[in-house]
Amino acid sequence: MKKFIIETYGCQMNIADSELVATVLKTAGFEQTNNIDEANIIIFNTCSVRQHAEDRVKGRISNEQARKRDKSDLIIGVMGCMAQRLQEELLELNIGVDFVVGVDQYHNIPNIINDHLKIKTDFNHQEVYHDIYPTRKGKFNAFVTIMRGCNNYCTYCIVPYVRGRERSRPIDEILKEVEIAGNNGFKDITLLGQNVNSYDYDGIHFPELMEKVSQVESIQRLRFVTSHPKDLSDELIKVMASNDRICKHVHLPMQSGDDEILKRMNRGYTSDHYRQIIKKLRTAMPNIGLTTDIIVGFPGETQEQYQKTYDLMKEIGYDYAFMYKYSPREGTKAAEFTDQVEEKVRLERLKEIIELQREITLQKFKGQIGSVKHVYVENISKKSDLELSGKTEDFKIAVFKGEKSLIGTFVDVEITDATSGTLIGKRV
């Protein structure tokens, strides 16, 4: 029997897609392995969002190519966003790629392998993958895709070009997938889309979808990513605040604190509009966890404009931020802008906000001391096997002393200390 392994890069959408592809392959008679030495088929699920993401995976593929010397039947495949973007170029790179499969061709993976095909990236046919209910790896957290693609065309971003137009999955299929996941022990569900707020299936919008999914008996917690600030509605805030199963956490990418830059990014909101949403969220849910994405060194970003991002990060005080220096993506509008910021400056700005956020995170986490958190126990702590670790509702890691048998259950933990990244506490 042919054994395959999938190595996943990029965002949660890719994690979910890897599970989807694994399910397609298993249904077709292939066997999944976690041991790369055992695999006859190695598939890389790739990301194109920044140049670094592509370079890294190309390096990985090239390394694995060496295995072909001892194993002549080994096949290396590339799926995901970089496969969609580079297509046959990947075959021509001489890094050992045998097949390339685009994001809307995953149904065809068994044929590609069985018939020794090289490439399938037809993009005109855009999928929502009806009636595939993935068997999942991992244990407690399941990612459920509710929509694919993106229509927003932020000027720096490659995603709309590689993932295509926005389309929503039918609500019945989402409910079924969530129910199955819950029955299999995944109590913490994250609904996924590049812009979940624009979910629209047969006139059902995102807040209503959240309500419906939260009522699935077999689950306990519901989350979502990513919210676009321009589309986050009052209705959603109301639903979040009034529903106990919906976790009080929002990931709301700010990208920049400067209005001119936001405009050039085509983000569709101003810094004041963004502030307003944060205010509404915090008024409705005072203990809400907030995280964000930031880009520094976008073309034309002056020191003053950068400073506004720095100041807004400080003002809002996120629990955590994913921070990036701008990376030009061929084919996007911003890559054509003639006022690119010097690499050295991008890097300096990035270092500075990483340092700022480290301090803010520490402060935020210390601020939790004395509170009691409901924790979904997922693991034995990495540091010591006397300690367990789990996730709080507001998306923080908490560690505490406890018995292994608590793994998979929900417990209350009183927070007694914190580092910049972990809450430390004791069971109450």
Residues at the interface with ligand SF4 (CB under 6 A) = 150, 152-154, 157, 159-160, 194-195, 228
* Minimum distance of ligand F3S from residue 158's CB (angstroms): 6
Using the contact rule CB under 6 A, the part of the chain among 20-28, 47-55, 270-278, 339-347 near ligand F3S is 47-55
Using the contact rule CB under 6 A, the part of the chain among 8-16, 111-119, 404-412, 418-426 near ligand F3S is 8-16
The residue written with tokens 């061709």 in the block is 105
| Dist. CA 356–CA 368, nearest whole Å | 19
Instruction: Look up residue 255 and give its DSSP letter.
Output: B
* Minimum distance of ligand F3S from residue 17's CB (angstroms): 8
* Minimum distance of ligand F3S from residue 46's CB (angstroms): 7
293 forms part of the interface with ligand SAH (CB under 6 A): yes
Q: Give 172's contacts (C-beta < 8 A, 6+ positions apart).
A: none
Q: Which two tokens stand for residue 91?
A: 């075959």
Using the contact rule CB under 6 A, the part of the chain among 33-41, 122-130, 326-334, 376-384 near ligand SAH is 326-334
156 forms part of the interface with ligand SAH (CB under 6 A): yes
Burial of residue 163 (CB within 10 Å: 0-12, 13-18, 19+) is: buried
- 11 phi-psi bin (left φ>0, alpha ψ -120 to 50, beta other): beta
Instruction: Look up residue 152 and give its DSSP letter.
Output: -
| Dist. CA 292–CA 318, nearest whole Å | 7
Among 364, 376, 356, CA closest to 418: 364
327 forms part of the interface with ligand SAH (CB under 6 A): yes
- Selected from 255, 271, 361, 381, the binder of ligand SAH by CB under 6 A is 255
- Pick between residue 141 and residue 194 the one whose CB is nearest to ligand SAH: 194
- Selected from 15, 50, 82, 168, the binder of ligand SAH by CB under 6 A is 50
- Selected from 206, 306, 318, 324, the binder of ligand SAH by CB under 6 A is 324
Q: Give 22's contacts (C-beta < 8 A, 6+ positions apart).
A: 4, 6, 32, 134, 135, 137
326 forms part of the interface with ligand SAH (CB under 6 A): yes
| Dist. CA 182–CA 188, nearest whole Å | 8
* Minimum distance of ligand SAH from residue 342's CB (angstroms): 15
Among 252, 262, 347, 273, CA closest to 309: 262
Residues of this chain, 177-196, that bind ligand SAH according to CB under 6 A: 194-195
48 forms part of the interface with ligand F3S (CB under 6 A): yes
Q: Are 54 and 67 in contact (CB under 8 A)?
A: no
- Pick between residue 120 and residue 163 the one whose CB is nearest to ligand SF4: 163
48 forms part of the interface with ligand SAH (CB under 6 A): no
Distance of CA 410 to the CA centre of its chain: 24
10 forms part of the interface with ligand SAH (CB under 6 A): no
- Selected from 4, 5, 10, 248, the binder of ligand F3S by CB under 6 A is 10
Residues of this chain, 69-98, that bind ligand F3S according to CB under 6 A: 80-81
* Minimum distance of ligand SF4 from residue 160's CB (angstroms): 5
- Selected from 5, 15, 22, 49, the binder of ligand F3S by CB under 6 A is 49
Distance of CA 204 to the CA centre of its chain: 24
- Selected from 264, 329, 346, 396, the binder of ligand SAH by CB under 6 A is 329
Q: Out of ligand F3S, ligand SF4, ligand SAH, none, which partner does residue 48 contact, by CB within 5 to 8 A per kind?
A: ligand F3S
Q: Out of ligand SAH, ligand SF4, ligand F3S, none, which partner does residue 153 contact, by CB within 5 to 8 A per kind?
A: ligand SF4
Among 162, 159, 168, 235, CA closest to 198: 168
Q: Percentage helix, strand, coil, to 5, in the chain?
A: 40, 25, 40
Q: Give 289's contacts (C-beta < 8 A, 6+ positions apart).
A: 248, 249, 250, 319, 392, 393, 394, 395, 396
Q: Are 100 and 80 in contact (CB under 8 A)?
A: no
228 forms part of the interface with ligand SAH (CB under 6 A): yes
CB atoms within 10 A of CB 95: 18
- Pick between residue 30 and residue 274 the one whose CB is nearest to ligand SAH: 274
Where does this chain bind ligand F3S (CB under 6 A)?
A: 10-11, 13-14, 47-49, 80-81, 158-159, 162-163
